[in-house]
A and B are shown apart, each in its own frame.
Chain A
């Protein structure tokens, strides 16, 4: 006497099982002799982390490692689960770009207790008592100083500026610290008229920029703490019809931002080198596995990228 209910279950099952199995076949098997690196980054929707993980994967493969890449997509609880799963799978090394520099502490302790080495990349972990082998990142403080110099260039040394911030993230705090220190060191006659959080994402930055433009008709420039923020600001500036009068300096050097720089929408970018960060991270893991000393912090110098660089950029010519 099969009821509709049990028939319903039977209908549902094969589909459920198919769906849940997903791409189970092509995963890196935990049983091969190749050591496994478990990676959990902040997000895979940013070009920065896409470039970083791609370079990391290629470099790891060259050194005989398998890589499992996950992203927490801004949910720290999810990142905690991902690290727990890495510990269960007994990966040989864990690479993290923490969603929250402090809340990640308990997860790192869990990996430490299992004897799995932890490496952080781009975003540092700041909890006390944790053991991180090394932190590989852009020298964000230096990048902030570069950005301040670019802004001064853009506005001719004096004027009103605004910052679209994202203070939840440690690397951004470093950028803004460097930015303000450089302004102060040069005792530049600039007025910071607004400093608002834009979440590091385009749509929120767009709305924040609109409000800033509304409130400050004499604004000369915006420092955007990453490229998505910069592109959001550019959209707002163009909508307000103030392109050319309000300059934007961004941070990261994604492809989309490079195009905007070439087209004069963004004045300049402090560019990071995510591919180098990914490669250096793997090289640090290799040195660690070989029992060689690894320095506590590996800083990758950023550089300034202007319209001149964009016009000569082979990356932009290829993609057109």
Chain B
């Protein structure tokens, strides 16, 4: 074996910084490569929507339909199609055509509209519609004799990765937000060399308690104050459950795995008892604000919340004494104790944070689904732990990064979403995710050996 050389003298600061970056955030590279991969494999024909679609269709239409003709606009009943219809009608008028309709709705509505137009006997030069409605319109026109030969025109498609469409990116973020929020608390717990298996059950408990309280405070008529109060109470309850776990772990020296395994069962059982095993859905429509709303730059509110939590936790872990204590306790509990850190207080703190964030995750889940049910969060603790481990936090404690966990969570989300988009069935997805977790741990091992 060759003797290992110490740092070569020609290594510059920049090189060092780059090397440091990759050993810290190598998983970021993996995430970017995954995104690139899915961008390439989901590159396919896209249907333009809204005003863009109208513009794209207008050029083609003016070239094919003689000026002055009547063009019937037929669309599905949704917001983007309404924008399309309005923009197209305006453009047609400007180009000297007569727009007819617009007719919108279900195939049955469209059929009646087509029949009505045919009954009027007015000659229709063309029917304009969106690409995803074209099959229906072509099918319907065959049944209305006088329109059977009328050309159906649609906007030309363009090529773009489905994965990189704005609505899909929003989906990816929305799909991981619950797990990502809870993973912040789990990262802190795992940095102290602990584990919290109860977070999945706490999602259910929090969602059920919040829904139950809202139901008790007026149900679908409950006001904003009641909803906030109910949610805060549910989160606080989960914090108390975390306090209980922390107490059992520190006071009686029960291993965290066992203590939180017990708490997991207790919390799940309570959720079933409170809800009587059913889902509670007497909740006002306004409750979906957190889970479905998007107020800031069309970012979903839950994603904004997630970003704020990550920013706060990052500062806590890197810039405060408490953060350093958490690392110290995980690195060497005995040494931490000898240097005057109140180890038990630090441990209880991380389990309370984990409980509170799991409660918050439950509220987000309840808000997304506008109901609370004891079946929520099933096996989520495993996804949360996976996000933390993929993000580079060592299960032996003492090291890990909050932002690494965010990357880990997104790796899971991108893989799942990408596999959904490419039609990989759900059983295969489990196998892949399992290998990704193993890969991450393997990478962690290699990294350590490389640095030593």
With a cutoff of 8 Å between Cβ atoms, the chain A residues found around residue B423 in the complex are 23-24, 26-28, 68
B276 to A, closest residue via Cβ: A167
Contact A168-B278, Cβ < 8 Å, known A4-B446, A77-B376, A103-B373: yes
Contact of B79 with A291 in the complex, beta carbons under 8 Å? no
Contact (Cβ within 8 A) A70 B426: yes
C-alpha gap A174/B449 in the complex (Å): 61
A317: interface (CB < 8 Å) = no
Among A27, A35, A115, A292, the residue within 8 A (CB) of B422 is A27
Whether A320 sits at the interface, judged by CB under 8 Å, is no
Return B157 CB to nearest CB of chain A, in Å. 8
Are B281 and A92 within 8 A (Cβ)?
no
Q: Which of B22, B34, B292, B369 contacts A103 (CB 8 A)?
A: B369
Q: Quick check: B419 and A3 within 8 Å, CB to CB?
A: no
Check B370 for interface membership: any CB of A closer than 8 A.
yes
Q: Is A299 positioned at the interface, with any CB of B under 8 Å from its CB?
A: no
**In the complex, are the beta carbons of B34 and A24 less than 8 A apart?**
no
Contact A21 B422 (CB under 8 A): yes
Interface residues on chain B, number (Cβ under 8 Å): 88
* Distance between Cα atoms of A269 and B34 in the complex (Å): 49
Given known pairs A84-B175, A106-B288, the reply for A117 and B44 (CB within 8 Å) is no
Chain B residues, Cβ within 8 Å of A74: 375, 378
Assembly CA distance A222 to B8 (angstroms)? 78
Docked Cα-Cα span, A130 to B254, in Å, equals 49
Digit string of B44-79 for contact with A (CB within 8 Å is 1, else 0)?
A: 110100000000000000000000000000001111
Residues from chain B with a CB closer than 8 A to the CB of A84 are: 171, 174-175
- Minimum Cβ distance to chain B for residue A167 (Å): 6
Known contacts A29-B44, A168-B279; A22/B439 CB under 8 A: no
Q: What does the 1/0 interface line of A108-145 toward B look like (CB < 8 Å)? A: 00000111010000000011010001000000000000
Task: Find chain A residues with CB under 8 A from B426 CB.
Answer: 44, 70-71, 73
B164-179 vs A, Cβ < 8 Å mask (1 yes, 0 no): 0101100100110010
CA distance in complex: A291, B114 (Å): 11
B421 and A127 contact, CB distance less than 8 A: no
Question: For A1, what are the chain B residues with a Cβ–Cβ distance below 8 Å?
Answer: 8, 11, 15, 19
Given A9-B26, A288-B106 in contact, is the A113-B78 Cβ separation under 8 Å? yes
Q: Is B245 an interface residue (CB 8 A)?
A: no
A16 touching B19, Cβ below 8 Å? no
Q: How far is it, in angstroms, between the C-alpha of A77 and the C-alpha of B77 when the chains are bound?
A: 26
| A-chain residues with CB within 8 Å of residue B419 when the two chains form the complex | 20, 22
Q: Does B418 contact A (CB under 8 A)?
A: yes
In the complex, what residue of chain A is closest to B19 when comparing beta carbons? A3
* Secondary structure type dominating chain B contacts: helix
Q: Report A130 CB to chain B, min CB distance, Å.
A: 11
Check B373–A100 contact: CB distance below 8 A: yes
Residue of B nearest to A90 (CB): B132
Q: In the docked arrangement, what's the CA distance between A172 and B336, Å?
A: 56
Known interface pairs A16-B436, A75-B378. Does A88 touch B111 (Cβ–Cβ under 8 Å)?
no
Q: How far is the CA of A13 from the CA of B399 in the complex (A)?
A: 24
Q: How many residues on the A side are at the interface (Cβ–Cβ under 8 A)?
A: 72
Q: Is the CB of A15 within 8 A of B143?
A: no
Assuming the contacts A24-B422, A81-B420, A100-B373, asked whether A106 and B292 have C-beta atoms less than 8 A apart, the reply is: yes
Within 8 A of B (CB), among A13-40: 13, 15-17, 19-24, 26-31, 33, 35
- The reply to whether A8 and B446 form a contact with Cβ atoms under 8 Å apart is yes
B168→A88 contact, CB < 8 A: yes
**Inter-chain contacts of A15 with B (CB < 8 A):** 435, 439
- Chain B CB within 10 Å, residue with most, of A8, A126, A290: A8
Residues of chain A within 8 A of B424, CB atoms compared? 20-24
**Quick one: which of A21, A69, A129 has the most chain B CB within 10 A?**
A21
Answer whether residue B162 sits at the interface, using C-beta atoms and an 8 A cutoff.
yes
Nearest chain B CB to A28 CB, angstrom units: 7
Residues facing B in A259-308 (CB within 8 A) are 288-293
Structural contact, B77 and A115, CB atoms closer than 8 A? yes
Contact A288 B108, beta carbon cutoff 8 Å: yes
Taking the complex as formed, is B315 at the interface, i.e. its CB lies under 8 A from any CB of chain A?
Answer: no
B418:A20 contact, CB within 8 angstroms: yes
B421-A3 in contact (CB<8A): no
B5 to chain A, nearest CB (A): 11
Closest to B285 in A: A129
List 29 A-B residue pairs with CB atoms under 8 Å apart, sorted by A's residue number. A1-B8, A1-B15, A3-B22, A3-B451, A4-B446, A4-B449, A5-B22, A5-B26, A6-B26, A8-B442, A8-B447, A12-B439, A15-B435, A17-B37, A19-B435, A21-B424, A44-B426, A70-B425, A77-B365, A77-B369, A81-B416, A88-B168, A100-B371, A101-B279, A113-B78, A113-B79, A288-B107, A288-B108, A291-B109
Binding site for B on A (CB under 8 A): 1, 3-9, 11-13, 15-17, 19-24, 26-31, 33, 35, 44, 68-71, 73-77, 80-82, 84-85, 87-90, 92, 99-103, 105-106, 113-115, 117, 126-127, 129, 133, 167-168, 197, 288-293
Listed in ascending order, the chain B residues whose CB lies under 8 Å from chain A are: 8, 11, 15, 19, 22-23, 26, 29-30, 33-34, 37-38, 41, 44-45, 47, 76-79, 81, 106-112, 132, 135-136, 139-140, 143, 157, 162, 165, 167-168, 171, 174-175, 178, 276-279, 281, 285, 288, 291-292, 365, 368-371, 373, 375-376, 378-379, 415-426, 428, 431-432, 435-436, 439, 442-443, 446-447, 449-451
> With A84-B175, A102-B279 given, can you name 5 additional A-B contacts, CB distance below 8 Å?
A24-B424, A80-B369, A100-B369, A291-B143, A293-B108
7 cross-chain pairs, A with B, having the tightest CB-CB distances, nearest first: A4-B450, A291-B111, A27-B423, A115-B76, A22-B424, A102-B281, A8-B446
